[in-house]
Copies of this chain bind each other. A is one copy, B any other.
Amino acid sequence: MSRGQKHGYHHAMKLESALHQTLALDIGGANIKACYTDHTGVLHAFSQPFLLSHHVDELVEALNGVVQRCPQVPQQWLVTMTGELCDCFENRKQGVHAILDAVSTVAGQVPVRIWSTTDGFVDMQYARENSLAIASANWHALASCLGRLHADQRLILIDTGSTTTDIIPVIHGHVATQGKTDAARLVHHELVYLGGSLTPLMALSGHMQGQLMNEFFATMHDLAVVMGACPQELDSVDSPDGMPYDLPSSLRRILRMFGEDLNVDWQLADHAQVIESLLDAATGMIQFAFNHVVNRHQSIDVVLIGGSGSWLPCQMLGRMENPFAVRMLQTLWGEGMSTCACARALIALACETNGK
């Protein structure tokens, strides 16, 4: 297994509707997530790590790498993104254009359709002229797709990735957020900047009774490790101190946030209070936002949990008395597909458009 595939997922499933040789991409700041239908309509998904902010000049090469992992040359591209947010770009417009440039270069003459929060799929020229409707629209694609699947229900999607949580009401098939941009969704508690793995624990500062050391000593992945809730292995190169994501290392990093050391004869139970205080803060952040969104809607039938960090909203729901049905996107689509859920959603949305 090559370095590039180390974090990769590769799962195949038969698509509900025939859509052949289509490549759907969700181009983020840390990963390019891909969903691909082969010539028989079978669906494949994989995630390719790519740190856009450090390697923006290599995006064309990275996209070529993605195409090479497809069983045939794609005959159609579908694109959404969040990578334009990276601070290697002066602003989001510049970021959207840079990403679209790279996509154009690699796609060549093959048609590209880009998801917008305003008009669904649009072409390259429209996308360039309306870059703010393209910027960070991947959540909107996923919510739109799930809306089609739950057209008669009042749904809230809680999608927790590595650094963020989307809280998206989808009412009778329609995306019912108050905000559409990241800035507006932050204000309306529809975007919470807390994820299940890469978010530094200092983001919990101010949400806790006690104080934390605001240093990059530990991440939410360390909390996941001590909770036994790790959906995937992370490289030790990604950890704050370069040590592994194992129980003693994660606990050591967490204690460092409190100015404490890990003793030689440590027991996990001895540190239950520290872990609980962090969990309270983390689930509290999600719940505060979730309550805001729920309260704007009279009743909710279903809460759908998705994303690689889904252990976190699951922890939150476990602490609540809730009157709604809870479903997991992992169960609906399988773990690999749900990790690439926004790309997967593009395929489903394109099937629908094809059928029209």
Contacts and interface: CB of A to CB of B under 8 A. Distances in A.
Contacts of A259: 85, 181-183, 185-186
A177 to B, nearest CB: 14
Interface residues of A, number: 46
Interface in A84-136: 85, 87-88, 90-93
Nearest to A249: B90
Interface string A209-249: 01111111100000000000000000000001100000000
Given A92-B261, A203-B202, A207-B206, A215 B193 contact: yes
B260 A183 contact: yes
A216 B256 CA distance: 20
Prevailing SS type, chain A contact patch = loop
Contacts of A205: 193, 203, 205-207
Q: Which of A88, A203, A214 has the most CB of B within 10 A?
A: A214
A130 to B, nearest CB: 15
A42 interface: no
B200 A213 contact: no
Contacts of A213: 182, 186, 193
A40 B87 CA distance: 52
A193 B206 contact: no
A194 interface: yes
Contacts of A200: 200, 202, 214, 216
A90 B264 CA distance: 11
A189 B209 CA distance: 11
A142 interface: no
B181 A193 contact: no
A199 interface: yes
B256 A87 contact: yes
A252 B88 CA distance: 12
A185 B186 CA distance: 33
